[in-house]
């Protein structure tokens, strides 16, 4: 009967933790006709549909039409936008690319079949991304609007790009951002009590190497001392919640400002570290390089439509579109009322805990949490060894077993991914949610079954013999290499130790196991999901290996035998204390 209850509770814990994660990452429901945001939402969709009829890359006639429509909308608000032009040649674009990515070794590359030099072939590639004139020149045109606050010269810049790749209408990338900022501008244009200057910048040439943002930074050096924060809106997919995925350094005040402004903040500090390890860049990259503080937002699910024809008005998830609008309206409204002050110059660790709430701590506080978790884990392991409950070599053996389980899950997952991608003709850059979830579920179910069968014969401290040393290694390793994700291991370890201390009290043990197990699964689930979303299907083996950790923790908490001092001494493999 105990085993059945344990399995039922474990299923509840896993289902609840994963269900809470899905709620956390889900965008808000669009407003009904009676909702306060409905008029702005309807206008946004109308403008979005009008400006995503076809692709509009830099220099194209289609972009001229989009620009004319955008300027008409701004002037209809009673505002006069400033159009800032800059001319680039193909040589200029190529030089910028080489400056950012390094100069290719053209001379030592093999000859091309088309008879062109590698440099000419590179230039032809640039020509396919924009419409240059007969002299290989391109005019980029940024659109800047300033809403002036009467009592200050300090402000916040809101930015999005209005050009697209030649292959896509760009509904998500990035016209939904443009139309959301239009509505934020419309609302604040009627505000007579602005406490901060609000700048709205629509850049051209982002898809050609963020050249519009580069030109803005170059031509407005005077604004570096006036603009306190840049809020940039982007997209990598066309569905899912709007994620604040990148920040500048010393971001504690910026993240807290975001928390205060947003009713649905979605952010995890580890995504900035992951993003910096990827070969990507946005307009915010230029602003950060110039010394601005900033926040970067994007929808990251649905990458199969990224830069594709399917990134159109019809395929854009309406809840995702509304999350863009809500975020733009709330950030602009907060900026209009509360000036941003970046005074503490500290980095932060943060993560979404519930829809509408971020946990934010300074890096010093996060290191203190890591130190506390590591100290308590070390104390518990030493205590178990000194009281004779465990041997040191048993811990090492159990640690090896856990690592073996993770490696086995990764290898099994890798084999399944390799077979499925070949069978379904999926490329390495594919995000296929059904395939990913099926693989992780199947391998996770196997790991869970093995864990339950084994842990049902063990006491809690025996089941933790491998988990705690492993978590201790992860706490120390993340503190040294990747502190932004250390909360995952520190909080998990602290929760496990709480259950261990309540092991003598059966009811307390069960209640704490359910609560702690659910929280741990909930903390791990978005990390696993975002790792997959950012790195795509080939990263599934790594995600599967990571998922073994919360599965093993849940099994240890719920499948093990409650502590019974009278029988504990006779358990096989437990060192007996010396009576003398």
Residues 6 or more apart in contact with residue 248 via CB below 8 angstroms = 254, 288, 292, 293, 294, 295
- The one-character DSSP state at 117 is -
74 pLDDT above the threshold of 60: yes
pLDDT tens figures, 3-45: 888 889 999 999 999 999 999 999 999 999 999 999 999 999 9
Question: In angstroms, how far apart are the furthest CA atoms of the chain?
Answer: 96
Taking each continuous run of H as one helix and of E as one strand, the counts in the chain are 19, 9
Token pair, residue 43, equals: 């206008």
How confident is the model over 336-349, as a mean pLDDT? 88
Residue 465 DSSP SS3: helix
How confident is the model over 72-77, as a mean pLDDT? 97
Residue 36 DSSP SS3: coil
162 pLDDT above the threshold of 80: yes
Token pair, residue 350, equals: 């943060």
pLDDT class for 563, splitting at 50, 70, 90?
low
pLDDT class for 564, splitting at 50, 70, 90?
low
Q: What's the chain's average pLDDT?
A: 91
213 pLDDT above the threshold of 90: yes
How far apart (Å, rounded) are the C-alpha atoms in residues 44 and 50?
A: 10
526 pLDDT above the threshold of 90: yes
> Residue 11: its pLDDT value, please?
93
Peptide bond into 357 cis (omega under 30): no
How far apart (Å, rounded) are the C-alpha atoms in residues 431 and 437?
A: 11
How far apart (Å, rounded) are the C-alpha atoms in residues 493 and 472?
A: 8
Residue 320 or residue 454, greater confidence? 320
531 pLDDT above the threshold of 60: yes
How confident is the model over 40-64, as a mean pLDDT? 97
pLDDT tens figures, 76-93: 999 999 999 999 999 999
pLDDT class for 569, splitting at 50, 70, 90?
very low
pLDDT class for 573, splitting at 50, 70, 90?
very low
> Residue 130: its pLDDT value, please?
95
From the list 224, 191, 220, the residue with the least C-alpha distance to 203 is 220
425 pLDDT above the threshold of 80: no
From the list 492, 197, 138, the residue with the least C-alpha distance to 336 is 197
Output the CA angle 493-496-498, nearest 5 degrees: 110
576 pLDDT above the threshold of 50: no
How confident is the model over 354-382, as a mean pLDDT? 94
Residues 6 or more apart in contact with residue 396 via CB below 8 angstroms = 469
> Residue 577: its pLDDT value, please?
46
pLDDT class for 427, splitting at 50, 70, 90?
low
Mean pLDDT highest for which of 140-144, 411-415, 429-433? 140-144
CA distances from 524 to 272, 300, 329, 373, 543 (A): 17, 18, 31, 17, 10
Q: Hey, what domains does the chain have and what are their CATH numbers?
A: 2-23+364-568 (no CATH), 31-355 (3.40.630.10)
List, in sequence order, the alpha helices (H) in 102-175. 118-127
pLDDT class for 574, splitting at 50, 70, 90?
very low
How confident is the model over 146-156, as a mean pLDDT? 94
How confident is the model over 480-486, as a mean pLDDT? 93
How many other CB atoms are found less than 10 A from the CB of residue 64? 13
- The one-character DSSP state at 291 is T
Output the CA angle 466-470-473, nearest 5 degrees: 150
Please say whether the beta carbons of 383 and 503 come within 8 A. Answer: no
434 pLDDT above the threshold of 90: no
How far apart (Å, rounded) are the C-alpha atoms in residues 546 and 264?
A: 27
How many other CB atoms are found less than 10 A from the CB of residue 192? 5
Please say whether the beta carbons of 551 and 49 come within 8 A. Answer: no
Residues of the chain with pLDDT > 70, as a percent, come to 96
Residue 519 DSSP SS3: helix
> Residue 429: its pLDDT value, please?
63
274 pLDDT above the threshold of 90: no
198 pLDDT above the threshold of 50: yes
Please say whether the beta carbons of 252 and 293 come within 8 A. Answer: no
Residues 6 or more apart in contact with residue 232 via CB below 8 angstroms = 159, 160, 282, 283, 284, 287, 294, 295, 296, 297
Mean pLDDT highest for which of 340-344, 505-509, 511-515? 511-515
| β-pairing verdict for 82-89 and 155-161 | unpaired
How confident is the model over 119-141, as a mean pLDDT? 93
List, in sequence order, the alpha helices (H) in 262-359. 270-276, 283-290, 318-337
Please say whether the beta carbons of 550 and 442 come within 8 A. Answer: no
How confident is the model over 137-143, as a mean pLDDT? 97
pLDDT tens figures, 6-17: 889 999 999 999
């Amino acid at each position: 009967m105990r085993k059945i209850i344990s399995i039922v509770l474990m299923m509840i814990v896993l289902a609840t933790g994963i269900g809470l994660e899905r709620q956390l990452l889900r965008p808000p429901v669009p407003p009904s006709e009676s909702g306060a945001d409905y008029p702005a939402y309807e206008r946004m969709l109308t403008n979005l549909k009008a400006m995503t009829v076809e692709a509009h890359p830099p220099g194209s006639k289609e972009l001229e039409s989009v620009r004319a429509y955008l300027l008409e909308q701004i002037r209809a608000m009673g505002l006069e936008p400033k159009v800032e032009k800059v001319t680039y040649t193909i040589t200029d674009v190529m030089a910028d690319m080489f400056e950012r990515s390094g100069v290719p070794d053209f001379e030592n590359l093999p000859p091309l079949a088309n008879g062109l030099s590698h440099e000419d072939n590179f230039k032809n590639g640039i020509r396919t991304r924009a419409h240059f004139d007969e002299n290989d020149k391109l005019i980029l045109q940024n659109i800047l609007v300033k809403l002036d606050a009467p009592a200050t010269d300090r402000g916040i810049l809101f930015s999005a790009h209005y050009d697209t790749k030649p292959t896509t209408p760009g509904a998500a990338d990035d016209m939904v951002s443009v139309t959301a900022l239009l509505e934020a501008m419309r609302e604040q244009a009627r505000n007579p009590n602005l406490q901060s200057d609000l700048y709205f910048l629509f850049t051209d040439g982002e898809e050609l190497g963020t050249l519009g943002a580069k030109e803005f930074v170059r031509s407005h050096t005077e604004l570096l001392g006036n603009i306190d924060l840049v809020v940039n809106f982007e997209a990598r997919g066309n569905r899912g919640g709007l994620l604040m995925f990148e920040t500048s350094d010393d971001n504690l005040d910026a993240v807290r400002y975001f928390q205060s402004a947003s009713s649905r903040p979605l952010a995890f500090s580890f995504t900035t570290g992951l993003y910096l390890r990827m070969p990507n860049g946005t307009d915010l990259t230029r602003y950060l390089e110039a010394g601005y503080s900033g926040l970067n937002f994007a929808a990251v699910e649905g990458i199969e439509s990224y830069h594709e024809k399917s990134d159109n008005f019809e395929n854009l998830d309406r809840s995702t579109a509304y999350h863009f609008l809500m975020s733009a309206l709330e950030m602009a409204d907060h900026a209009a009322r509360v000036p941003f002050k970046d005074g503490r110059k500290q980095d932060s660790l943060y993560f979404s805990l519930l829809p509408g709430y971020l946990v934010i701590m300074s890096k010093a506080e996060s290191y203190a949490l890591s130190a506390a978790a590591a100290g308590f884990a070390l104390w518990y392991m030493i205590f178990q060894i000194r009281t004779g409950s465990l041997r040191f070599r048993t811990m090492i053996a159990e640690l090896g077993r856990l690592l073996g389980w993770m490696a086995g899950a990764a290898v099994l997952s890798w084999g399944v991914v390799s077979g499925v991608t070949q069978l379904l003709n999926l490329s390495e850059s594919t995000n296929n949610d059904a395939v990913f979830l099926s693989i992780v579920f199947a391998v996770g179910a196997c790991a869970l079954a093995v864990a339950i069968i084994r842990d049902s014969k063990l006491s809690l401290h025996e089941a933790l013999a491998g988990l705690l040393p492993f978590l201790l290694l992860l706490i120390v390793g993340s503190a040294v290499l990747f502190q932004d994700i250390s909360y995952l291991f520190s909080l998990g370890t602290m929760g496990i130790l709480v259950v261990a201390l309540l092991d003598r009290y059966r009811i307390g043990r069960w209640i704490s196991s359910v609560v702690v197990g659910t929280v741990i699964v909930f903390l791990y689930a978005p990390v696993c999901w975002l790792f997959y979303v950012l790195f795509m299907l080939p990263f599934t083996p790594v995600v599967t290996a990571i998922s073994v950790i919360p599965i093993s923790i849940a099994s240890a908490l719920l499948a093990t035998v409650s502590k019974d001092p009278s029988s504990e001494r006779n358990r096989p493999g437990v060192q007996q204390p010396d009576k003398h």
